[in-house]
Amino acid sequence: MLVRTIRDIKNGAKMGFSSLLRRSFSVWSGTVVDMGNKDGELRVFMVAGEVSGDSIASRLMASLKKLSPLPIRFSGVGGPRMSKEGLESLFPMEDISVMGMWELLPHLNKFRVRLKETFEGAILFRPHVVVTVDSKGFSFRLLKQLRARYGWQESNGPLHFHYVAPSFWAWKGGEARLKGLANFVDHILCILPNEEAVCKLNGLDATFVGHPVLEDIVEFNLGKQASPHDLKIEGNSEDFRRKYALSPGAAVISLLPGSRLQEVIRMLSIFSHAFDQLKDSIPELITVIHVASNQHVENYIDGVIHKWPVPAILIPGGHQHLKYDAFSVSSSALLIQKAFIELNQKCMT
């Protein structure tokens, strides 16, 4: 993703990480790399509040470690995949993984405490760059506070990147959501090609860096001799049937209940009722439940699965090949609206 940004400059010439930062932010009194050179290292503070953000951020961290001209150090908030890349999260990522206003209210005090801890952690870390990934409710509050703390003119203030543009295209009048972001976001990293131009029209520096599913395809095909245009994701249904001893007549339905505890609690109840209605009319009905890499979600599903109306197979998060094998054997899928939007995004790319 960011690798594409680094290489895809006006005339297609390859550029290093430092050149990208100089090109994009030369208007600033001191560039990130200049500040990093002065300190002998590049400090990046990263925040992800959801499973998808943890995946995106971990890949970004891996790329930055390869591309940075300086030793690089990370701090912030993230999940297991970011931890594997060297991040020691200030607290469990799940603590800020909440859905909207009504879901936030019961957890408002914890949310405020975690926001304060993150802000203070960033100040103590003295980052050259702050990267927030999605989770706009938490991310934008943090960036606003940091910008207010450092002000516009202080030369040692960090640059603010936000990865994954707000879904302005999904809502009527959605572009209004972009207004004012330039006050605390220096650059948006977009995952859909149409987003870059719209962000720029609304006063935001932006770069289209590609959709995460493209990296899924690359990772899925490691070691295969094929051109990038010929790569695709194909699961192995026969392997899956053998692994779980499924009969040829088994009717398999995949279930994607979400990555946040609140949505999983709500959706599993609805899905359970649906399968209770289906089990008498569909012989050998099997559910494959894709479980997000969220400890709260994992614990909840483990606690309720014994009451599930039909046999169920749990697919743990982070197992890409197993996930796509499950998709290949499934005749259909039930998923929440957010997952449906993400599935449409994948189709668009």
Confidence class of residue 254 from pLDDT cuts 50, 70 and 90? very high
Mean pLDDT to the nearest integer, 108-131: 92
Pairwise pLDDT comparison (179 vs 344), residue with the higher score? 179
Pairwise pLDDT comparison (240 vs 178), residue with the higher score? 240
Mean pLDDT to the nearest integer, 175-180: 82
Name the CA dihedral angle for 274, 280, 281, 282, rounded to a multiple of 10 degrees.
80
Residue 308 predicted with pLDDT over 70: yes
E strand or H helix at 40: none
Residue 125: per-residue pLDDT: 96
Residue 120: per-residue pLDDT: 97
pTM metric for this prediction: 0.76
Contact present, 19 and 4 (Cβ < 8 Å): no
Q: Tell me: the pLDDT tens digits for 204-217?
A: 999 998 888 877 77
Mean pLDDT to the nearest integer, 114-139: 94
3-state helix, strand, coil in the chain (%, to 5): 50, 15, 35
Residue 8: other Cβ atoms inside 10 A: 16
Structure tokens at 334: 């039930």
Averaged pLDDT score across all residues of the chain = 81
Q: Tell me: the pLDDT tens digits for 35-63?
A: 788 889 999 999 998 888 999 999 999 99
Phi–psi pair at 53, nearest 5 degrees: -65, -35
